[in-house]
Each structure stands twice: as C-alpha cells, then as structure tokens.
C-alpha cells in the first residue's frame, strides 16, 4: 500500500484551474521530485497534500485513510508531515533551538528537557548545533534552510515535503542544503520535493514527476526524462534547465 | 514656600497621575488587543463594528467624552465615579489608537511563519499565542510608548472630575499662593520626570525583548 495516493486531484482558484486531475503515488522510503515550469501547480499540489490548500475535488489517501473526506483531523495529519518552505519560514523571534523545540513542546507535548535533548540530536545531525543560539536574521540562507529542515525533522514526520528548498539560495548555499537532503535520502527518509534543481532531481530522487499546466505529463527517472525525451514539452523544459556537465 | 517645597506638595498628586495613566493605558491595551484580534476573524459585521469604534473614538476629544460620561450619563440614570469616568473615556480613546497599532503590527508578522505553524499542526490559537502575539507585541512597542505618552499628557483632565492628581493640587496651591509660574513649572518638571521614568522602563523592555539581527541594535 502506498504511503500517499493521489487520485484525480483538482484545485481551482476562482476561475483558474491550477491542478487538472493529478494522480500520483509515494511509497514509504521513496524520494520523488516534482518538476515543471513556473506556475504549473507544483507548490499548490504539495500544499494540497497536507491540506494547507483545500483541494476542489479528487482523493488523497494518506496511510490508507482518505484525508479529503469531510471531518478529517487536519492537525493530526499535518503532525505526520514535515513541511519545508522555499523562504524557510523560521519563526523570527525565536533562536534556532527554540524554533526546533516549540513544536515538540506545544504539539508533541514533550517536556522542555526532552525537547531540548531531541533538538540537540537533530541539530547535530545536520551540522547546526553550533548555531543553536542564533536567531534567523543572524543566519545565512543555507543555515536558515538547514534549520528549517531540522525543525520539520525533529517532529519525526512520516514524510517530508520540501517546497523548492534551494530556489532562494546561491549555488554554494544550495549545495549545503542539498547535502543535508542527500543525507536524509541515504537514511531512507520518505520525501516529496518540489524543485528546479536538476542536480537534486537527478541524484537525490527515485523518480521525477513532471507536471505541466496542472497535469502529470510523465513520471520517470532522470536518465530517461532529461535526455531526448519523446515529448517535446519535456525535452524543451530540460534543455533549458539542465546543465549536467 | 521654596520651589523644593512646591515640588514636594505637588508630588503627592503624582501617585494619582501615575494611577490614572497606568489604568487608562491598561484599559486601552486590553481594548486594543481584543479589537485587533477580532479584526483577524474577518467577519464582516465585526469588522464594521471595529471600524466604527476606531473612527468614532479617534475623532472625539478626551475632555468631551469625559464630560459625556461623567456629567451626561447621570441624566439617564447611570452614575459613574470620577476614576471610572476617566478610565472609560481615556481608555476607550486610547484603545482605538492602540487597536490600529496592534493591527498594523499583526500584519507585519510574515504570513509564511503562520503557515509554517499551521503546517506543523498548530491550532489557530496556538499559532496566535506562540508566533503572532510575541512578534506583534515587539513590533508595537514604539507605537505603545507613543500612546502611553499621549495618555500621560491627557491625564491632567482628571482634575476636571475631581481626581486629586498633580494638576488639581497645583491649581489649589496656585489659588492660595498666587505663585503660578513656579507652581506650573514644577508641574511640568514632575510630568517630565514621570515621562522619563516610564521611557527608561520601556527602553529596558524593548532591549530585553529585541530580536537579534532583526531589530536595530
């Protein structure tokens, strides 16, 4: 049974249909990347999957439970999904350690001691322990994103959603973040990642979902998707974004 | 009577001045906070009521509202004590200004941080308490200091309804001694000292809760 199964998902904002019947599956331990041109609905799809955006129609089945039915416990669902935002979304008034422990104390109901121990462990895991007392405004972009990943990871989610985790970073900082994501990949953390980063898509994913104008055009591995794909739309896209030398 | 003696006599009314100022500011803060929070619900009827309140009370002079409450309400059978009249009138006007200050500060909290809290599984109340409120209060501090200063400067109106604060003491003393210049100069000095004391307190609070890297150090 798939961890997440999406059937014919549609999302409409006023008169604009952003997702036009998306189908996808994600299994436990799998890492899938969603790619596609800007405005094709990648981020909307990710936000629909943890109900930050309410889908217009279709089904999302998470661990065998349909979460698109009325009356579903949205907060319980979200506690199982770690979400990393493009612009980090760290709580500006809290230092890195408190950013990590807040959810543990208020949502997971851990004691301050337990939450701190857990935060220290997770911060060590991504090399952010020495920055634990810094505030978001005192961190570089790469450090902010690593802190955001730790914050999500510390909650022991079943799956991690990453919404363009490297898009707002310069190449050097992006590599910092990619190496953390790679570490999670090697640890078999289940992830669904929206990205434009061809390197991340090629080396740190089991398959790539290509989304265009609200529909999944193709799902395949990088080797087949990136080079001379028979679909001209996909070929054109990868010619413009992939520099794999 | 030396200038020092005048200062000592007037200082006896300073307690009431501080009491009136703190009570009116506290009332204003409570009203401002509640109305700013209600405005986040985006319910049309509530929004209209809040808009009507802020527009109305920002447009009425404190003294006029004080007289309506203290001298006007007894005509319809509602007797309000001098102290409560002062708190109601100045508190309501201050609340209208603080409501706008808080609303602006709330809007300054990045939407993505609230979204991150929700994505984590926080309730709306939790995200308000742990994400919005702490930032909102910090962003509001300069506006709150400004409003507190206004309230302090409006507090002498309390003498018009018989509260024995500095101004009332000064008028009584001036009537007896006919040394208006020294007496009112002393009043000015006492107000300035109270103002500076509170400014120092606020500056300490502002420094204590400054967000490193975000606020100007």
CA distance B122 to chain A (A): 7
Q: pLDDT tens across A145-156, in order?
A: 999 999 999 999
Query: Is the pLDDT at A1 greater than 60, yes or no?
Result: yes
**pLDDT score, position B41:** 85
CB-CB: which of B130, B134, B214 is closest to A135?
Answer: B214
Q: How many CB pairs under 8 A join A and B?
A: 74
Q: Which residue has the tokens 């929070």?
A: B37
Query: Is the pLDDT at B21 greater than 60, yes or no?
Result: yes
Minimal CA–CA distance to B130: which of A97, A103, A114? A103
Task: Note whether A88 and A145 are within 8 A (CB).
Answer: yes
Report yes or no: A81 at the B interface, CB cutoff 8 Å: yes
CB-CB: which of A136, A138, A155 is closest to B120?
Answer: A155
Q: pLDDT tens across B171-208, in order?
A: 989 999 888 899 999 999 999 999 999 999 988 988 88
**pLDDT score, position A243:** 59
**pLDDT score, position A171:** 86
Contact: B119, A78; criterion CB under 8 Å? yes
Query: Is the pLDDT at B216 greater than 60, yes or no?
Result: no
DSSP track, A197-241: -HHHHHHS-SEEEEEETTEEEEEE-HHHHHSS-SSHHHHHHHHHH
Contact: B211, A92; criterion CB under 8 Å? yes
Write the CB contacts of B175 (distance below 8 Å, at least 6 apart in sequence): none
In the three-class reduction of DSSP (H, G, I as helix; E, B as strand; rest coil), residue A55 is classed as: coil
Question: What average pLDDT does this structure show over B109-127?
Answer: 94
Q: pLDDT tens across B140-163, in order?
A: 998 999 999 999 999 999 999 988
ipTM, two decimals: 0.90
Q: Where does chain B have alpha helices with state H?
A: 3-11, 14-39, 44-59, 62-67, 82-108, 111-120, 124-127, 133-154, 166-177, 180-208
Contact: B211, A137; criterion CB under 8 Å? yes
CA distance B42 to chain A (A): 18
B137 to chain A: closest CA residue = A93
In the three-class reduction of DSSP (H, G, I as helix; E, B as strand; rest coil), residue A33 is classed as: strand
DSSP-assigned beta bridge partners for residue A24: A6
Question: What average pLDDT does this structure show over B19-23?
Answer: 94
Q: Which of A92, A133, A145, A157 to mutate to test the interface with B (most CBs of B within 10 A)?
A: A92
Minimal CA–CA distance to A192: which of A8, A12, A35? A35
pTM: 0.85
Q: pLDDT tens across B63-73, in order?
A: 999 999 999 99
The H or E element spanning position A184 is helix A171-186
DSSP-assigned beta bridge partners for residue A59: A7
Contacts of B123 in chain A (CB under 8 A): 75
**pLDDT score, position A245:** 45
Neighbouring CB atoms inside 10 A of B15's CB total 12
Q: How confident is the model at residue B136 (pLDDT cuts 50, 70, 90)?
A: very high
Q: Which long-range contacts (CB under 8 A, 24 or more apart) does A234-243 make?
A: A234/A210, A237/A35, A237/A36, A237/A37, A237/A210, A237/A212, A238/A198, A241/A196, A241/A198, A242/A198, A243/A198
Q: Which residue has the tokens 């307190």?
A: B201
Report yes or no: A133 at the B interface, CB cutoff 8 Å: no
Report yes or no: B110 at the A interface, CB cutoff 8 Å: yes
Considering only residues B11 and A243, tell me which one the structure prediction assigns the higher pLDDT.
B11
Task: Note whether A60 and A48 are within 8 A (CB).
Answer: yes
Report yes or no: B131 at the A interface, CB cutoff 8 Å: yes
Write the CB contacts of A96 (distance below 8 Å, at least 6 apart in sequence): A90, A123, A128, A131, A132, A133, A134, A135, A136, A139, A147, A150
Q: pLDDT tens across A26-55, in order?
A: 999 999 999 999 889 999 999 999 999 999
Contacts of A115 in chain B (CB under 8 A): none
Considering only residues B115 and B209, tell me which one the structure prediction assigns the higher pLDDT.
B115
Question: Using alpha carbons only, how large is chain B's radius of gyration in Å?
Answer: 21
Minimal CA–CA distance to A209: which of A54, A35, A6, A71? A35
Contacts of B214 in chain A (CB under 8 A): 92-93, 135-137
């Amino acid at each position: 049974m798939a961890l997440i199964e999406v059937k014919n998902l549609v999302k409409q904002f006023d008169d604009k249909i952003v997702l036009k019947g998306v189908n996808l599956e994600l299994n436990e331990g799998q890492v899938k990347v969603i790619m596609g041109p800007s405005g094709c609905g990648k981020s909307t799809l990710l936000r629909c999957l943890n109900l930050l955006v309410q889908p217009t129609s279709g089904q999302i089945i998470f661990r065998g439970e349909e979460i698109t039915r009325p009356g579903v416990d949205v907060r319980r669902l979200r506690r199982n999904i770690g979400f990393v935002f493009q612009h980090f979304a760290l709580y500006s008034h809290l230092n890195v350690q408190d950013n990590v422990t807040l959810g543990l104390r208020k949502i997971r109901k851990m004691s301050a001691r337990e939450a701190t121990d857990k935060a220290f462990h997770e911060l060590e895991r991504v090399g952010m322990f020495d920055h634990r007392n810094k505030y978001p405004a005192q961190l570089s972009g790469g450090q902010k994103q690593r802190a955001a990943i730790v914050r999500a990871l510390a909650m022991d989610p079943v799956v991690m959603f990453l919404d363009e985790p490297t898009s707002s970073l310069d190449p050097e900082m992006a590599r910092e973040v990619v190496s953390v994501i790679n570490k999670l990949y090697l640890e078999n953390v289940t992830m669904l990642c929206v990205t434009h980063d061809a390197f991340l898509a090629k080396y740190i994913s089991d398959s790539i979902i290509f989304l265009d104008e609200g529909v999944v055009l193709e799902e395949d591995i990088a080797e087949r998707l990136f080079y001379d794909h028979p679909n001209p739309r996909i070929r054109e896209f990868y010619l413009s974004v992939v520099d794999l030398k | 009577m030396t200038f020092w003696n005048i200062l000592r006599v007037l200082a006896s009314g300073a307690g009431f001045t501080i009491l009136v100022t703190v009570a009116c500011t506290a009332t204003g803060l409570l009203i401002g906070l509640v109305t700013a929070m209600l405005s986040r619900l985006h319910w049309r009827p509530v929004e209209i009521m809040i808009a009507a309140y802020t527009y109305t009370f920002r447009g009425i002079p404190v003294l006029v509202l004080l007289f309506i409450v203290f001298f006007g309400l007894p005509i319809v059978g509602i007797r309000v004590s001098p102290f409560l009249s002062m708190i109601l009138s100045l508190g309501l006007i201050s609340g209208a200004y603080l409501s706008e200050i808080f609303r602006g500060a709330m809007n300054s909290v990045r939407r993505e941080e609230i979204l991150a809290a929700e994505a984590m599984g926080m309730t709306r109340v939790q995200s308000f308490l742990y994400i919005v409120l702490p930032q909102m209060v910090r962003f509001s501090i300069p506006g709150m200091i400004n409003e507190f200063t206004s309230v302090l400067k409006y507090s002498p109106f309390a003498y018009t309804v018989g509260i024995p604060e500095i101004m009332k003491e000064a008028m009584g003393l001036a009537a007896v001694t006919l040394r208006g210049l020294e007496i009112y100069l002393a009043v000015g000095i006492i107000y300035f000292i109270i103002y500076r004391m509170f400014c120092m307190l606020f500056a300490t609070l502002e420094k204590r809760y400054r967000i490193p890297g975000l606020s100007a150090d």
